[in-house]
Amino acid sequence: MLPLAEALRLVAARGDLSHLVLFLWAISSSFLLLFVLRELVQSNRRFNEFIREIARINSLFDDDLS
C-alpha cells in the first residue's frame, strides 16, 4: 500500500478526522501556492519578452530617424 494511503487509513481508523482535514488543507494550500508561483514566473517571463520586443522596435525606429 502507498505510504500516503496507509497514513490516511491509520488516521481514519483512529477517528482523528480533524487532523486528516488539516492535513488535506495543508496539502491543497501548498499545491495552490506552487501553482500560483509557477504562473507568476511564466507571467514575468512573458512580460520580459514583451519589453525586449518593444525595446527592439524602438531601436529600429531610432536607427531610421538618425
Ramachandran angles phi, psi of 52, nearest 5°:
-60, -40
pLDDT at 1 over 60: no
- pLDDT for 9: 81
Q: What pTM was estimated for this model as a whole? A: 0.62
pLDDT for the residue numbered 46: 98
Work out the number of other CB atoms within 10 angstroms of the CB of residue 32. Answer: 10
pLDDT at 58 over 80: yes
- Counting the structural domains of the chain, the total is 1
- Residue 42: predicted pLDDT: 98
Percent of the chain with pLDDT over 70: 92
Q: What is the pLDDT of residues 3-17, one digit of tens each?
A: 878 877 877 777 677
Ramachandran area for residue 37 (φ above 0: left; ψ -120 to 50: alpha; else beta): alpha
Answer whether 12's CB lies under 8 Å from 20's CB. Answer: yes
**Phi, then psi, of 2 in degrees rounded to 5:** -65, 145
Determine the structural domain holding residue 47 and report its residue range.
3-65
